[in-house]
A and B are shown apart, each in its own frame.
Chain A
Amino acid sequence: MSVVATLAAGLPAATGDGAVAPVTADFSNDTWWIWLIKAVAIIVFLLTSVLIAIWFERKVVARMQVRPGPNVHGPFGLLQSLADAMKLLLKEDVTVKAADKLVYVLAPMIAVFCSLLTFAVIPLGPMVSMFGVRTPLQLTDFPVAVLYILACASVGVYGIVLGGWSSNSTYPLLGGVRSTAQVISYELAMGLSLVSVFILAGSMSTSQIVDSQTQIWWFLPLLPAFLIYVVSMVGETNRLPFDLPEAEGELVGGYTTEYSSMKFAWFFLAEYINMLNVSAVATTLFLGGWRAPWPISWINDGMFNEGYWPVLWFLAKLWFFMFVFVWIRGSVLRFRYDQFMKLGWKVLIPAALVWVVCVAVVQGVRQFSHLDLRTLLFVLAGVAAVFVVVSLLIPARKEPPRRRRSGPEVIDPFAGGYPVPPLPGQALPPSPRKRLADATPTNDPGTTPELTQEVHGG
């Protein structure tokens, strides 16, 4: 109930009622050199973040597996990823003879290029003063910025798919096919989970969505959508437990099998930048973007929500999601392909659809009946409570009456054509030879023939 009360307090102020400006961030003061600074800063940020992310992942996974991880090059092994990058640069660049040359070279470029586009619309902070110019910490924004992110992601997958096809080899092709199916199914769930944010925020522009989370971050009222997004973002970036396109146990290296040197490095780079991208989207749409977390946001009249401070909160949230990626990789096993598809189509997409309909109905009732949100939420809570009570009254389905046995069940170990040992609660039939032995009189009258059955377990 307290959650409902907080929601009721937070929502009315947070959600706009229809007429909203298309984009909150004000780019009117920007000059060409401001754009240049921002664009270069984003590229540099992404590339260095990838180097750090590789080190971070190896180090954290190592800690989870109780080993030190990279610790030779530089302090804490920080220069390890730099060394790896140099190694990849200097390796021989093999172009497979049977490959479709043009597409083979184009594929890694598509992957990297598209992954670099997303951060253009991610707000890293509010209005700041940059060399005397008041400008938002964001390269650009437009009314459909989040759709633009989805578009970049969906074109980026062409890199993987085409890389798998053009290598003209079995395993890469399988990786490419898997990737296609994966993208189609998980992008649907991802898009649907974002729709509920659009409905509540009343906009698809990233700065507007961050602005709408002043009172409450959307991950709380939209928890189901948030969870669906987190699952599908792991699927979208081909990370464990969903890394089926490059499953090394099944497909050698999947779509990267025939790639070497820098072309392979580009795929690698694209994967890590994509991790950063989806983490940034999750931060922006569900965790309040650059806004300071609750107790800090109150300090000194919101001092930490102004200037360059918000970059810190943004990065903290971003790296929280990166840690979640590594954490999942360190603890969950890879899915089987049919399980993975079943999860996508039979769980995530229906759940996301139902949730979107629920959010749309609540928002529609609010807008068209001018009902107070607090009353509406109380009514919904009442309906839910009635539902729970009614479901308690419905008698649970009776379990099929279990045959009470006095002793352990005697099984035929050869029923399946192959000798099997008895399970707990089962016993083998008495051996025919033993019966034979019992029938013949024993030489020693002192020992009684052993008649107890061999019982395993309970």
Chain B
Amino acid sequence: MSAIATLAQLPAVLPAADLAGGTTSTGEAALFWVLAPVMVLAALGLLFARKAVHAALAVVLVMISLAFLYVAQGAIFLGIVQVVVYTGAVMMLFLFVLMLVGVDQSDSLVETIRGQRWIGALAGLGLAVVLAGVVGTAVYGPPTGIDAANADSNPVGVARVIFQDYVFAMEVVGALLVTAALGALVLTHRQRLTPRVGQRERADARVAAQAVLTPLPAPGVYARHNAMDVPALGPDGRPLEHSVPRVLRVRGQEADAREYAARIDRVLAGGAANEPLRDERPHAPVDPLETPPPQAGGDASTVSGGHSEQAEADR
């Protein structure tokens, strides 16, 4: 009950503080009436955005607008530090995690815990009441005005307040933050049960397994044709099967290197590359709709030579 009573007092307290502070210039008022709707919209955007990154951007917008308002009110240091610390560091860390979610993902509105929404709403209401109670019972001293506060430059004034008047509270908050960071470290720490497998260990394992240590040869290297499906030729002239991408090999779409060599020899000899047309295309594209089943392969082979035989092998 008392909390609600203080809530009612709140509007009475705030304008009083405002009046004592001084008058608002036209420029400041204009800035406020431009930025305030933007900030409200962005804050609503945080609530209703479906993508996490959009929500984060809405928060960034609120932060920067707030910084403008701080600067307009003479709290330059506060405004700039707000951007450096919150927008530049804290929000960037948030974004770091959120980005990994991906562009196409958006929140699902399915409740993962039963009654989650009601609990959330209740907790939010409780927080509002507590905040209102704290703000309502806070005692404001008589405002001194921005000129007196900024007498020897704004940062010096802020430093006096933080490191002189409220130095104990400052230290306590600092200790609290360090404890929280330490707690996060301890909670996420994992004892390593197996030795760490680094780059060096991987390299040793590869050597021990007698794997190919160099990068695999690219298809078509030393061969006389550089298509993806033509195996490279080793120094001894034999085709290297592992130079053809594994997918093509699994599908059986690998070309015959010797056939390509023969074609080029025919061209060099002055003929056409495709002279004996019978089985020039050892790996014709396999289309299940066009290739007849093996038992009905008779008429297909009359059309395209050795094609169907190869197509069978390709499967």
Contact = CB atoms under 8 A, between A and B. Distances in A.
Interface in B56-104: 57, 60, 64, 67, 76-77, 80-81, 83-84, 87-89, 92-93, 95-96, 99-100, 102-104
- Most-contacted residue by chain B among A142, A143, A162 (CB, 10 A): A143
Contacts of B154: 22, 143-144
B155 interface: yes
B51 interface: yes
B240 interface: no
A417 B83 contact: no
B109 interface: no
A416 B51 contact: no
B103 A98 contact: yes
A100 B208 contact: no
Contacts of A183: 88, 92
Contacts of B89: 154, 184, 187
Contact of B95 (A19, A20, A151, A180): A180
Contacts of B209: 417
A276 interface: no
A418 interface: yes
Contacts of B210: 417-418
Interface residues of B, number: 34
B153 A177 contact: no
> DSSP majority for the B interface?
helix
B107 interface: no
A166 B87 contact: no
Contact of B92 (A142, A154, A173): A154
A147 interface: yes
Interface in A70-122: 98-100, 103
A369 to B, nearest CB: 19
Given A143-B153, A161-B92, A154 B80 contact: no
Given A155-B64, A177-B99, A416-B208, A143 B77 contact: yes
Contacts of A191: 84
Contact of B99 (A21, A155, A176, A204): A176
A147 B84 contact: yes
B77 A144 contact: yes
Contacts of A100: 51, 53, 103
Interface string A2-25: 000000000000000001111000
B275 interface: no
- Most-contacted residue by chain A among B64, B87, B92 (CB, 10 A): B92
A103 B57 contact: yes
B147 interface: no
Nearest to B90: A184
Contact of A144 (B51, B80, B92): B80
A150 interface: yes
A191 B83 CA distance: 14
A244 interface: no
A181 interface: yes
A151 B80 contact: yes
Nearest to B206: A418
Given A154-B83, A157-B92, A173 B99 contact: yes
Given A143-B153, A418-B208, A154 B96 contact: no
Nearest to A336: B199
A144 B81 CA distance: 9
B204 interface: yes
A19 B152 contact: yes
A173 B104 CA distance: 13
A143 B103 contact: no
A218 to B, nearest CB: 19
Contacts of B87: 151, 154-155
Q: Top 4 nearest A-B pairs by Cβ distance?
A: A154-B88, A22-B153, A151-B83, A168-B103
Interface of A: 19-22, 98-100, 103, 142-144, 147-148, 150-151, 153-155, 157-158, 161-162, 164-166, 168, 173, 176-177, 180-181, 183-184, 187, 191, 203-204, 416-418
7 contacts: A21-B153, A98-B103, A144-B80, A151-B67, A173-B99, A416-B208, A417-B209
Interface of B: 51, 53-54, 57, 60, 64, 67, 76-77, 80-81, 83-84, 87-89, 92-93, 95-96, 99-100, 102-104, 152-155, 204, 207-210
Given A155-B64, A177-B99, A418-B210, 4 more contacts: A103-B54, A150-B84, A154-B92, A184-B89
